[in-house]
Structure 1
């Protein structure tokens, strides 16, 4: 037998799912994200030419247009573009997961500390955050990637360096509102530790905003990562990366349009999926001001 709390949680879950399923844009976004993730995970098994991920050349099949043998055509050295796009999705998703996996915990913890303690803690954290927010993320990423040797690790470092600031600002704003609520004051009166108050009382009330912000951020991180690769400061060939493929294909426009247009479309669809999912979650949780 389920307890009343379990039944209440199950009921809320069904209600949330019902509301989410009635939002067409959210469902479309979720489907896009799930399909892209599955394609990335199963890439070695579903792509027709998995060996084309590496330094393979087939000059007899170079610049082939989309066909039954090569759905997205081939590039300037004869590699299958569809195969490389699917593997490129894997790189983009890894980039988003690692960057947000580093940035979100840092931003959330700093936001909780600044919002709850106030005083000099708030002043120091928020002034550093304001300074970091004044620096465009793409400009900082370009600077870091230019100083360090271009690679996946350095691209992730360059993007994560400033991404925590947005989550710090968001959680700080929520925590300032929650710290005067009755349930926080009750916990303080009962002698709960500050760690308990921060992570057991306040943080659970921030989860919905964090989920929405994370979904929206994933699309932006992917776009910035693609921009770095397009400029030659991201993943280096022959590793398949969507931004690098767009840059290489741009040299052959407009004659061989598929070499640039189709990888670019993959970036668009992936970023669009995360943005539609984030908008749907924002409507579901009734969260505001997370951009």
Structure 2
């Protein structure tokens, strides 16, 4: 009996699939670094009024006596052309960027996922209509389409969200469609049909849970691209209008004073790079952790 108990206690521990996934994630330095960056960006956006050394710089404040000040202990990222603290505006700019991410993905992801589920499950003419329309939208140049929409509408955060959302759902539709088509012949789907389950039950209780991992990875990767896309619109003058602090607008305004006053464009640009890098590293880590293809 003693030998048996020692053998059992010395037996290797069998990890669950969730524990194995977390083990892979925590052993991925790039993924952990990305998670830390994302957490820092979220904290900076939420607590911007508390963290910003000059919260009034987020508005239309002017201080011409301190304009074009280089980075220093008083102004970590320098000041802009009207004397506003660049670091404070970057913190508030993260609020705009994350608001854009939440607004765009909060609409595009559910819409695209539902279309992908319906197209993959029902097939036939439903699949043909949805997927051909998706292909047409995918054929349109995203930036050119967004520029056209924001040029017609007045440039603001809501219209920037609309412009990006009208194109972003397509990738989620293609992704979910591919997954559902591969799952349609699985035993659990056939068993649900034989048990008399409704279409809604099969779509949202059977098929959708098997897409969650891919959706989570895709969303984390998309967040960085939405930030970059929104900054591109603002840089071209069709995004958020001043004095609202927006990273793309700050880069565009600061570029007029390059190279002498480089910090006005470089610092907001590094802030965009920082956030985009964080979301991409996190997405890559989640993809390795969940072992999915997106």
Q: Distance in 2 between matches of 1:165 and 1:46?
A: 38
Q: Distance in 2 between matches of 1:261 and 1:107?
A: 36
| 2:116 corresponds to 1:111 | yes
Gaps of 5+ in 1: 1-9
Structure 2 equivalent of residue 51 of structure 1: 56
| 2:13 corresponds to 1:24 | no
CA displacement at 1:16 relative to structure 2: 2.3
Q: Distance in 2 between matches of 1:40 and 1:158?
A: 23
| 2:235 corresponds to 1:243 | no
Structure 1 equivalent of residue 12 of structure 2: none
Deviation per residue, 1:201-245 (Å, 9 max, x gap)? 000000000011111111111111000000110000000000000
Structure 2 equivalent of residue 3 of structure 1: none
Deviation per residue, 1:176-200 (Å, 9 max, x gap)? 0111111000000000011000000
Aligned residues between the structures? 280
Structure 2 equivalent of residue 92 of structure 1: 97
Aligned CA RMSD, in angstroms, stands at 0.9
CA displacement at 1:11 relative to structure 2: 4.6
Deviation per residue, 1:32-53 (Å, 9 max, x gap)? 0011000110000111100111
* Structure with bigger gyration radius: 2
Q: Secondary structure at the match of 2:257?
A: coil
Structure 1 equivalent of residue 6 of structure 2: none
Deviation per residue, 1:42-101 (Å, 9 max, x gap)? 000111100111110000000000001100000000000000000001110110111001
Q: Distance in 2 between matches of 1:98 and 1:15?
A: 33
1:1-291 paired onto structure 2 within 5 Å: 11-288=16-293, 290=294
Q: What is the TM-score normalised by the length of structure 1?
A: 0.95
Q: What is the TM-score normalised by the length of structure 2?
A: 0.94
Q: Distance in 2 between matches of 1:282 and 1:11?
A: 18
